[in-house]
Amino acid sequence: MESLTNLGLRRNKLEFLNPTIGKLGKLTVLWLSHNRLRVVPEAVGQCSKLQQLIVHHNYLTCLPRSIGALTCLKELRVDDNKLSHLPPEIGALSKLSFLDCAHNQLKTLPPTIGWIEELEYLSLAQNQLTHLPVEIGHLFALTKLFLNDNKISGIPAEIGSLQRLCLVRLSNNKLTSLPMEMMNLAALGHLDVSGNELIVDTLPTDFAKAMRERKVKVLGVRGF
C-alpha cells in the first residue's frame, strides 16, 4: 500500500478518512469526490508528492492547515462543499495551477492567495464574497477567473496587473462600476458582468471604446 500512487475513493458514501492516509508517501492522485466527508485529516499533509486532490461534492467546512505542506500540488478541487474560509497556508501551494472553490460559503479570502504564483484557473463562483484582497493582483499566471454569483461590490485596481487574464466572469454581483485598470488587461477576450447595476455612463472614461477596439466580448452592460 505504501507504494500506491493513485487512490480513487469517490462515490463511496465515506464519512471519515483514516489518518493513516498520511503513510502513503508516494501518492500523487487522491480522489474523494461525491462522499459525505466533513473533514480532511491533517495527516494528508504528509502525502508530500500529491499533485491532484479532488474533494468536490462533500460536506467540508474547512481544509486542514497542513495543506500548505503539499508543495507539489497542481490541482485542488473543493467545489460543492460548505467551506466558510480557506486556510492562509494555501498560499504555500507554489505549484498549484488549478483551484476550484465554487459553490461554498466563503465570505473572505486570505491575502496569501496572492502567493500562488503558477495559478492559471481560479473559480470562486457561487460563494458569499463581498470583496477581494488586493493581493489577487499578484496572480500573474492567471488566465481564467470566475467570481460570478457572489456579493462583490468592488474590484481592486490591482486586477489590472494580470496580463494573461483572458476570461473574467463577474455576473450576478453588486457592482456599480469597474476599475479603469481593467483596460490594462491585454489578453482579455471575454468579460461577463451581467446581473449587476452597470451602465456605460458609470464605466471608466474610454472603457467601452477600448473594449470595442480590442473586440472584447462584454456581456451585461446596459447601453454597451
Cell 485598470 belongs to 181
68 in any annotated domain:
yes
Specify the DSSP element, H or E, that contains 99: strand 98-100
Q: Which amino acid type is present at position 195?
A: G
Specify the DSSP element, H or E, that contains 207: helix 207-213
| Signed CA dihedral, 182, 176, 114, 120: sign only | negative
Q: Which of 165, 170, 143, 167 is nearest to 155 (CA)?
A: 170
Find the domain containing 112 and state its range: 6-219
Please compute, for residue 150, the number of CA atoms within 13 A of its CA located in the half-sphere on the CB side: 28
57 in any annotated domain:
yes
Q: Residue 119's domain is classified under what CATH number?
A: 3.80.10.10
Alpha-carbon distance 94 to 63, whole Å?
A: 17
Low-confidence ranges of the chain (pLDDT < 50): none
Residue 194 Cα distances to 31, 149, 151, 222, angstroms = 34, 10, 13, 9
1 in any annotated domain:
no
Give the per-residue pLDDT at 210: 87
Alpha-carbon distance 153 to 171, whole Å?
A: 12
| Signed CA dihedral, 163, 147, 31, 60: sign only | positive
Alpha-carbon distance 10 to 65, whole Å?
A: 23
Give the per-residue pLDDT at 208: 84
78 in any annotated domain:
yes
Alpha-carbon distance 128 to 145, whole Å?
A: 16
Overall domain count for the chain: 1
Instruction: Specify whether the CB–CB gap between 133 and 109 falls below 8 A.
Output: yes
224 in any annotated domain:
no
Q: Which residues, including other chains, have CB under 8 Å from residue 212's CB and lie 6 or more apart? A: none
Give the per-residue pLDDT at 205: 77
Instruction: Specify whether the CB–CB gap between 100 and 123 falls below 8 A.
Output: yes
122 in any annotated domain:
yes
Instruction: Specify whether the CB–CB gap between 221 and 198 falls below 8 A.
Output: yes
18 in any annotated domain:
yes
Phi, psi of 21 (to 5 degrees): -55, -25
Give the per-residue pLDDT at 220: 85
Give the per-residue pLDDT at 64: 97
